[in-house]
Amino acid sequence: MEGPGGLFLLLAVLCTGGAGETVSQEAVRPDKLLIITVATDITEGYQRFLRTARNFNYTVRTLGLGEQWKGGDVAHTVGGGQKVRWLKEELEKYHDQEDLVVMFVDSYDVIFAGSPIELLWKFHQFEHKVIFSAEGFCWPDWGLADRYPPVSNGKRFLNSGGFIGFAPQLYEIVQLWKYKDDDDDQLFYTKIYLEETLREKFDITLDHKSKIFQNLNGAIDEVVLKFERNKVRARNVAFDTFPVVIHGNGPTKLQLNYLGNYVPNTWTHEDGCGVCDDDLLDLSEVQEDDLPRVLLGVYIEQPTPFLPEFLERLVLLDYPRNRLSLYIHNSEVYHEKHIQAFWEKHKEDFSSLKIVGPEEALSQGEARDMGMDLCRQDETCDYYYRVEPMVVLTNPDTLYILIQENKKVIAPMVSRSGKLWSNFWGALSPEGYYARSEDYVDIVQGKRVASNTVSSPPYIGIFLHISNRYRVWPLDLHFRNTNRTRRHNDLWQIFENPVDWEREIHSENYQNTQIFEEDLSEQDQRLAGGYENVPTVDIHMTQIGFQEEWLKFLQEYIAPVTEKLFPGYYTKAKALLNFIVRYRPDEQPSLRPHHDSSTFTINIALNRKGIDYEGGGCRFLRYNCRVESPRKGWSFIHPGRLTHYHEGLPTTRGTRYIMVSFVDP
């Protein structure tokens, strides 16, 4: 079994011997190793490759920087011959250095996971002059598959994205290249390997069990991350190996990038980790006027629950106002009143504020292009942050956090409260669609902290990073059950968006109320009750389509209170009669004495006494007890049926509204 490749382990093996002959310390000298790669552009993939090389102290020679790529579209079809031509020219310098080991690897989709000593030790353990990486696909000519030597256990086919050998042998191999730049490099090396005389002449073998090279294409299920106290390492569980070079070939870019940027929350550069990210930007000493300018782009493309609350959170972002601009595109007439109210209240709170409404009839694509253009065309705009109203920005430091990550494109990981749904794809299927990685749950729940995971193909040159370093961004909102005809649509969101419903509508004092903390005396429990045979001026929840939502409220919030108030009684919170009653001096000012037809009754004041109305209240005749000034929005609960005979006191001015529920059982 191979270990994860620490220096201590390798020195122990060198002293005691391993498979085959003992490798001398002279053979694993890092100065006898040269890494050669190809890159015409300094992409993020190339920078990541160099970062891992630096962390392990590899010597890297890059060919082709700044030159025109003529090797074809290798991401989608055959090509890559230009790499062989450049390598052929480069090896002229080293062809007579018999003890020099040269490794050629791609760079845009490759990372290092082990040290030069580990690499050299594993190379010498093969006891071959040249080793190519192996994979499970015979590319680019499947017709050559039958010509490959049989393999009892391991990957059978050659991959040219990584190979290692002594300089003289590699030099002789590339001297056979006589083809065009856009011819296929892998086909060239494959034909040499399949020619038995050449294979023996150059002493070529394949890394069938991924001891040195791990090609991820078609092998994702074989690779897991092995976690230790201060390091993480990719492990091939099929062959029980720890590859030194990870190659994200084919449709496996997301997994490679995750491996390349994974940083446990205990790691720092001082820990000497092999795949650490660059240091975060330090903004602590930056003066406010020197901070980057940020344009917030907000896109409202459908009726959205809790939109006013979302807009208010933008104002709460802790970032200098003179460095923050806001662009809002709203395609919903339903939300114009919300946008107008926000503009009137906060038009001076941003460096600039631009609002584009539904009258412009912009498509979603056009609206997003406009937001990007506003930043691109403004020389002072440093960052563009697009946010959808479905994301609840609960952390006022959001902008600081994302800017500190120091990435070209980055998003925070967001997930639904209590759910595993998130904006992060843990893995990709062979067809390039969503698949769940083995550690997806740990990542979404924050048990594993990834500094940056990446989800765009490296050949584009720009990675799309995502961070779960801070667990502060819930992605809560569902857009079902949003009705433009309702004046207060958010009241209907208790099923679809319970967290936001509770945050924005239900009293924050609910969990803090003394009823959950203190014992209640018998006197405290004398609340009230009645029997509903008295007609009222009312509207029932069934009439406005709010019955199910109200019953959900009773079950979630009222039932726990009644179990505290009435020990030994456990309610199912069923209620057929749920209605709003109106009292006016000239209409129905009061109710005669009566009993309610309930086990217990809920009475909620919906407006303010002394401002909206005078008078009113409830008198319990048996106890000669009055409840005359209930606070708006607070629930008054009393037993029903026989014990709490009561009457409604006259409303003497204005209009009084109360919400009533007869709960039984």
Give 432-465 pLDDT, tens digit per residue.
Answer: 677 787 778 888 887 777 655 554 554 466 788 8
Of these ranges, 13-17, 23-27, 176-180, 499-503, the one predicted with the greatest mean pLDDT is: 176-180
Q: Give the integer Cα–Cα distance in Å for 186 and 147.
A: 15
3-state SS class at 92: helix
The answer to whether the beta carbons of residues 227 and 144 sit under 8 Å apart is: no
Q: Is the dihedral angle over the CA atoms 530, 534, 537, 543 positive or is it negative?
A: positive
- Read off the pLDDT of each residue in 416-444 and give the average, rounded to a whole number: 78
| 485: confidence class by pLDDT, cuts 50, 70, 90 | confident
Count CB-CB contacts under 10 A for residue 50. Answer: 18
3-state secondary structure 459-482: HHCCCCEEECCCCCCEECCCCCCC
Q: Exposure string (b/e) for 309-340, b if CB count within 10 Å is 16 or more? A: bbbebbeebebeeebbbbbbbbbbebbeebbe
What is the tens place of the pLDDT at every residue in 51-100? 999 999 999 999 999 999 999 988 778 999 999 999 999 999 999 999 99
Q: Is the dihedral angle over the CA atoms 457, 458, 462, 467 positive or is it negative?
A: positive
Query: Across all residues in the chain, what is the average pLDDT?
Result: 84
Q: Give the integer Cα–Cα distance in Å for 231 and 9.
A: 15
What is the tens place of the pLDDT at every residue in 243-294? 999 998 876 554 454 444 433 322 222 333 333 445 578 888 889 999 999 9
pLDDT of residue 352: 95
pLDDT of residue 661: 94
Say whether pTM exceeds 0.75: no
pLDDT of residue 511: 58
Strand partners, 54: none
What is the tens place of the pLDDT at every residue in 289-326? 999 999 999 999 998 888 999 999 999 999 999 999 99
The answer to whether the beta carbons of residues 629 and 617 sit under 8 Å apart is: yes
Give the residue with greater pLDDT, 554 vs 9: 554
Of these ranges, 91-95, 224-228, 424-428, 501-505, the one predicted with the greatest mean pLDDT is: 91-95
| 214: confidence class by pLDDT, cuts 50, 70, 90 | very high
User: Lowest-pLDDT range, 375-379, 511-515, 578-582?
Assistant: 511-515
pLDDT of residue 301: 93
* pLDDT exceeds cutoff 80 at 27: yes
CA–CA–CA angle 558, 561, 563 (5° rounding): 110
3-state secondary structure 117-143: HHHHHHHHHHCCCEEEEEECCCCCCHH
What is the tens place of the pLDDT at every residue in 620-658? 999 999 998 888 988 899 998 888 999 999 999 999 999
